[in-house]
Amino acid sequence: MIQKTSVGTVAKSLTEYWSQRVVAEANGNLFKVAKGLGATSWHAHHDQEETFLVLDGALTVQLRDGDVHLEAGDLLVIPRGVEHCPLASEDVFLLLIGPDVTSTAAGGKPAWSVEGGRPTPG
Amino acid sequence: MIQKTSVGTVAKSLTEYWSQRVVAEANGNLFKVAKGLGATSWHAHHDQEETFLVLDGALTVQLRDGDVHLEAGDLLVIPRGVEHCPLASEDVFLLLIGPDVTSTAAGGKPAWSVEGGRPTPG
């Protein structure tokens, strides 16, 4: 039997910020659940688009030409090569879709984001 | 500037059941918003996986080996070639992800589903 995934339940179970949990794969893309707080590093993905869908909370995606503010149910595709820096003032829960797990240092994962880590205020 | 999409707003604007509105494209996959009521026809997609994410409401995905009941936030990937027949007793709003628009007769779109059409009770 095919198994469903409750993305909200997975999201709430995550312990580390800006890490991605793969919950499904289809047509060469991974469905990845993450939670965010504070900012990642500025980065770009030169080999793939990255799609954000906000599950709960709010996320500001900083771009070099302005910010895009996302709330629950908002979807945003970051084109290849476009620099971005997601920022959340409170916990935000995300579904990310793309061919690879991008929660790496090159993918913007901040150094403070390890098990139990939290962003430095200010 | 990159544009966001409120998938919920698009979903609530749809007038026809089991039609798909493409809201974004990334990495060879389309993000499609739809609303459902009643059942589609039994069908399978032999060339692609089809991913369902329920935005609001509830959907029963009937499979030959049993039903999978989905509620808001539940994600289900239908593998290639697997026969399925989605069924909703009340309006359900969906995000579908896959390389093609599948709201065709071959893709299970029922004959009654035209502008203003509603399923026959029973």
Cα–Cα–Cα angle for A9, A42, A80, rounded to 5 degrees: 80
Distance in Å, alpha carbon of B46 to nearest chain A alpha carbon: 12
What would the two tokens of residue B38 be? 């009643």
> Are the beta carbons of B46 and B23 closer than 8 angstroms?
no
Residue A116 has pLDDT above 90, yes or no: no
pLDDT at B120: 80
Distance between CA A12 and CA A7 in Å, rounded? 9
A53:B78 CB<8 A: no
Type of residue numbered B58: A
> Are the beta carbons of A86 and A20 closer than 8 angstroms?
no
Cβ burial of B117 (10 Å; 0-12, 13-18, 19+) is: middle
Residue A122 has pLDDT above 70, yes or no: no
A27:B49 CB<8 A: yes
Distance between CA B8 and CA B69 in Å, rounded? 21
Residue B15, classed as helix, strand or coil, is coil
Distance between CA B12 and CA B60 in Å, rounded? 20
- Chain B CB within 8 Å of residue A98 CB: yes
B27:A5 CB<8 A: no
Distance between CA B36 and CA A23 in Å, rounded? 24
| Other CB atoms within 10 A of residue A60 CB | 16
pLDDT above 70 covers what percent of chain A? 99
B97:A29 CB<8 A: yes
Q: CA separation (Å) from A114 to A18, A61, B13?
A: 9, 22, 42
pLDDT at B12: 96
ipTM of the prediction: 0.94
Q: Residue ranges of chain B with pLDDT lower than 50?
A: none
Type of residue numbered B37: L
Which residues of chain A lie closer than 8 angstroms to B1, CB-CB? 63, 65-66, 68
pLDDT at A115: 83
Find the CB nearest A73 among B8, B68, B77: B8
Type of residue numbered A93: F
Dihedral sign (CA A9, A55, A22, A41):
negative
Which of A3, A4, A55, A61 to mutate against chain B (most B CBs within 10 Å)?
A: A4
* Nearest partner of B61 among A22, A30, A32, A1, judged by Cα: A1
Residue A45 has pLDDT above 80, yes or no: yes
pLDDT above 90 covers what percent of chain A? 94
pLDDT at A36: 97
A8:B73 CB<8 A: yes
Residue A121 has pLDDT above 80, yes or no: no
